[in-house]
Amino acid sequence: MNRDELRQLFERLSIRRERLVVHASLSAFGEVEGGAVTVCQAFMEAVGDGTLLLPAFTYAETLIGLHPGRTQAYHPDLPVSAEIGLIAETFRRLPGVFRSSHPTHSFAAYGRAGRDLLSTQRDNNVLGPMKKLNIAQGQVLLLGTTLRSATAIHLAEERLQMPYLERRSAMRLNASGYEERVVLENVPGCSYAFDRLEERLEPGKVLSQPLAKGVARKIPVRYLVTLATRALETDSAVFVCDRPECASCAAKREALADLSNVDA
């Protein structure tokens, strides 16, 4: 794809003046002239005087205990975790983009409401920018990614105070340049099972456009959070994945079992 084709794609997705959180996979676009930079510049141009929010997460590097002996301290130039993707890493480095200072779940923002969205995030309010986007009736833009990437779904888990949300510690460089240990509240875990919401999506709520190797979809944040909340109210384990190697979901099962024992 070239810049003009990307511009036409984003026009069809009607993102101008919107407030969006973007989750993107570069490979889904096929061959792109200029790579991730071109994609980022295209959606920055297309949003106009709207606002873009992208995850700039570094939990794989900064969470204490996740990879013993390899923990890094967060700083504003720490690269985005590889699994978040090259588009997110490219975006956070572009002119006019701001990044929050959360040690594990920072966001990068561009546009009119960017600073305002980021200002809500605190160490004990991991999902602050998502909450503000929900209030502002923002949109989730999935560019070749599935619902597994949709961070907004974690809002439903926090809304219902799911017992598996964790208190964790991470490392960050303070203003004096020294490493400090930071205690975090309500840290979300595995999102692999978020795909279980796919069959619940109403076609009329989703604006879709084909990509070379996938699909681009725009979904209202509020709708997605409501859908996830209802799913959790029906089955508290709906977002516990079945992968035996997933330590995060093993901890979720244990927390839910402990709650069941208390209720009994």
pLDDT digits (tens, 9 = 90+) for 30-47: 999 999 999 999 999 999
Model pLDDT for residues 121-172, shown as the tens digit of each residue: 999 999 999 999 999 999 999 999 999 999 999 999 999 999 999 999 999 9
Contacts of 261 (CB under 8 A, 6+ apart): none
CA dihedral 9, 13, 15, 19 (to 10 degrees): -130
Write the single-letter amino acid at 140.
Answer: V
Query: In the predicted model, is pLDDT for residue 181 greater than 80?
Result: yes
Model pLDDT for residues 188-200, shown as the tens digit of each residue: 999 999 999 999 9
Model pLDDT for residues 91-129, shown as the tens digit of each residue: 999 999 999 999 999 999 999 999 999 999 999 999 999
**Residue 21 CA to its chain's centroid (Å):** 7
Query: In the predicted model, is pLDDT for residue 232 greater than 90?
Result: yes
Query: In the predicted model, is pLDDT for residue 263 greater than 70?
Result: no
Confidence of residue 66 (pLDDT cuts 50, 70, 90): confident
**Under a CB-based contact definition with an 8 Å cutoff, are residues 113 and 213 in contact?**
no
Give backbone dihedrals phi and psi of 174, rounded to 5 degrees, phi first. Answer: -85, 180
